Amino acid sequence: MTMDKLKMHSPDLSQENIAKIRDLFPGCVTEARDDATRQLRLAVDFDQLRQELSDDLVEGPQERYQLDWPGKKQALVTANAPIAKTLRPFKDESVSFDETKNLFIEGDNLDVLKILQDSYLGQVKIIYIDPPYNTGKDFIYRDDFSTPGQQFAIESGEKDEGGSRLVANSDSSGRYHSDWMSMMYARLTVAKRLLRDDGVIMVSIDDYEQSALRKLMDQVFGERNFVAQLVWEKGRKNDAKFFSVGHEYLIIYARDVALLRERKEIWREEKPGARDIWDEFIRLRSLHGDDFKAIEADLSKWYSDLPKAHPAKKWSRYKRVDKNGPWRDRDISWPGGDGPRYDVIHPKTGKPCAIPERGWIYASPAEMQRQIKLGLVEFRDDHTEPPFRKAHIRPIPDEIDGSLTDADDVDGSDEDGDDTEFATQVRGSYFYKQSQVSVKYLRNLMGSKVFTNPKDHEELAKLISYVTPNEKSAVIMDFFAGSSSTAEAVFRANATYGSNHQFIMVQLPEDLEKAESSTSGTAKKTVQAAIKLLKKDGRPLVLSEVSKERIRRSGKAVIEEPCDPGWAKDVGFRVLKVDTSNMQDVYYRPDQIDQKDLLADVDNIKPDRTAEDLLFQVLVDWGVDLTLPIQRETIQGKTVFFVDGNALVACFETGVTEELVKELAGREPLRVVFRDSGFVSDAVKINVEQVFRQVSPATDVKSI
């Protein structure tokens, strides 16, 4: 083994600073050979860095060795350009609007990603997307990658004439690949900002753009953050002329793979048969409650009745049961010997238990007591024998810090080498699931074939649980929602594994009648089936309406099946839609308003906007979680919103009096917001801050 050598020189601050730039802007850092030492060193592409930091197109030398295409710089301008848009709530289209933690957002996904930057910056654990595959027949988003940045920033606040920004990307176009790359580059750049430091992005793609997408994600997320490229085999195509290309890829990157390694995060999935045992445990607990002896008796009989070939038969050692599920005993001694020796008091006899010959596996008495408190140590009848560890078929929640733990995995490794006896395994890079399974399932769920190639929600559910081994509540996002398979996958993962993950689905309201006129064959029949479904319910003929209906139906289906008791059974979703700002132009450009317009614009809020509209724009602007509980109260004849208790109080009524202001101040909210023109007099408006300064000085007071 070669010993690491001391540097024997002061730190190379230049390289350290460049490494920091690389963390923020991976695409701006490359490698160059040092002229003096001939060693490779990190180097900054200053032209690209200038573009990252500019709202306008930066002119510079011709783009050189790197991933490059016409329109790349403008795509970055597009990603960074601000927009004057907001999200409006639609309670009638939602399910359990007041209680749910899930979101369905209707609109252009680039707009949505920008709007969510403050509320969900660094909050999303998993992004899964299944973008258009750029076959020349699919649709891509029509972003303007040629207009100057300033002009684009203005234009991006308006909808096009048809309300749709989807166009076919013909392979005869000279920009066939470039347009697709620009569309994806802008969205991935903004999406990266939403990922947690330990977040993961998974992108489905086929052979058309697989190589380009891989390079593009190297550019956005950094090559060192590549995790894996999975092959999803969906079945043989017997009508193929050369080879049957029935697979797709799933490209996976981490936000910071070094952090995942530092935290010793290990991804595992259940081995065949483990799921059957857990399902039987859930069924028996619904019958016997906390009578674990009765559950154990029935579980033992269930094991014995299984056919010899059943995969759960090999896990019959998991026959003991407690509140955390089936478990088996494991040795509590230090592997290899010479382990620590200290007293562990037996709970019944009050005397020290016999110490294993090899010493305790836990390094300190404090860790031993933590394991006992978690219920992972089982004592014998008396102190004359050492206790043993419990190894549950599933990791259990740590009631101390909320993480998951298990006696099988004390330090991130299976220390006694007994891997074959633990009911989890690492996934391979290849997996098979016939595509027609999800097609048939969705056809039965929806009553007709309304989607041509839906992703398999069961496989997505497994992946979601696979990459969230240490938590029970995470935000999952899909900004190319399509058939909303990801939403159902979240439901299924929660129902199966007892998690309470929440989703954010984003889908453009694509005009289905226009799509019908521009498609043929199977695709046309699918669009027609979707139109028929929506007409039956009297809903707008747009794709997002079909997506929402799929979530409604799948939620009802999941909740009627056996569910893990740890799941809160949240199958609702709040519907929000992208729209222009609630504020009049005078709010943004007061210097451009003529004197003759002043009387018409006394109120800076658009007349067609509701108090709920204003509330959600405040939530967005203040960077508040858009799923927080909202309560409405009538105080002194005025409607007042309370968000997450006293976290935010909002009143957008007119005629607000000083008495109302004082009463709200008495509630001592963290934040309060009023309508700028809502006060009964200028004197009351002037006194608002003074009232809060006296009664609730910690409150942040704002007006719109």
| Rounded CA separation 224/679 (Å) | 56
pLDDT for 594: 57
Is there a contact between 205 and 213 (Cβ–Cβ < 8 Å)? yes
0.75 exceeded by pTM: yes
Please name the residues in contact with 116: beta carbons below 8 A apart, sequence gap of 6 or more.
194, 504, 620, 626
In the DSSP assignment, the letter for residue 649 is E
| Rounded CA separation 483/460 (Å) | 13
pLDDT for 12: 61
How many residues can be counted in the chain?
A: 704
| Rounded CA separation 185/217 (Å) | 8
Cβ density class 31-47: b for 16+ within 10 Å, e for less: eeeeeeeeeeebbbbeb
| Rounded CA separation 175/169 (Å) | 9
- Please measure the distance between the N-terminal and C-terminal CA atoms of the chain and give it in whole angstroms: 66
Is there a contact between 40 and 31 (Cβ–Cβ < 8 Å)? yes
Half-sphere exposure of 98 (CA within 13 A, CB side): 5
Is there a contact between 537 and 550 (Cβ–Cβ < 8 Å)? no
User: At which residue do the structure tokens 């990791």 appear?
Assistant: 395
Question: pLDDT tens digit string along 343-357?
Answer: 999 999 999 999 999
| Rounded CA separation 447/640 (Å) | 43
The residues with which 190 forms a beta bridge, in sequence order, are: none
Angle CA 465–467–472, to nearest 5 = 50
Question: pLDDT tens digit string along 670-682?
Answer: 999 999 889 999 9
Residue 624 tokens read as: 């508040």
Closest CA to 653 of 617, 618, 687, 678: 678
Is there a contact between 653 and 681 (Cβ–Cβ < 8 Å)? no
Closest CA to 581 of 59, 97, 82, 3: 82
| Rounded CA separation 373/379 (Å) | 12
DSSP secondary structure string for all residues of 265-298:
----EEPTTHHHHHHHHHHHHHHHTT-HHHHHHH
| Rounded CA separation 413/80 (Å) | 43
Strands of 356-427, DSSP E: 377-378, 388-392, 396-397, 404-405, 424-425
pLDDT for 602: 55
Please name the residues in contact with 380: beta carbons below 8 A apart, sequence gap of 6 or more.
353, 386, 387, 388
The residues with which 425 forms a beta bridge, in sequence order, are: 269
Residue 310 tokens read as: 């059943």
Give the strands of the sheet with 103-106, arranged side by side: 85-89, 574-580, 103-106, 502-507, 475-478, 124-129, 195-205, 247-254, 226-233, 430-432
Question: pLDDT tens digit string along 191-229?
Answer: 999 999 999 999 999 888 899 999 999 999 999 999 999
pLDDT for 10: 45
List the chain domain ranges.
294-416, 596-703
pLDDT for 173: 46
- The amino acid sitting at 418 is D
Closest CA to 672 of 654, 655, 689, 684: 689
Question: pLDDT tens digit string along 529-570?
Answer: 999 999 988 999 999 999 999 999 999 999 999 888 889 999
| Rounded CA separation 552/484 (Å) | 10
pLDDT for 135: 58
How deeply is 290 buried, as exposed, middle or buried, from its count of CB atoms within 10 A (0-12, 13-18, 19+)?
Answer: exposed
pLDDT < 70 stretches in the chain: 1-13, 34-38, 40, 60-66, 134-176, 397-422, 585-603
Residue 495 tokens read as: 């129902």
| Rounded CA separation 612/91 (Å) | 10
Please name the residues in contact with 615: beta carbons below 8 A apart, sequence gap of 6 or more.
89, 630, 641, 643, 650, 652
| Rounded CA separation 330/320 (Å) | 12
pLDDT for 607: 87
The count of other CB atoms within 10 Å of the CB of residue 364 is 11
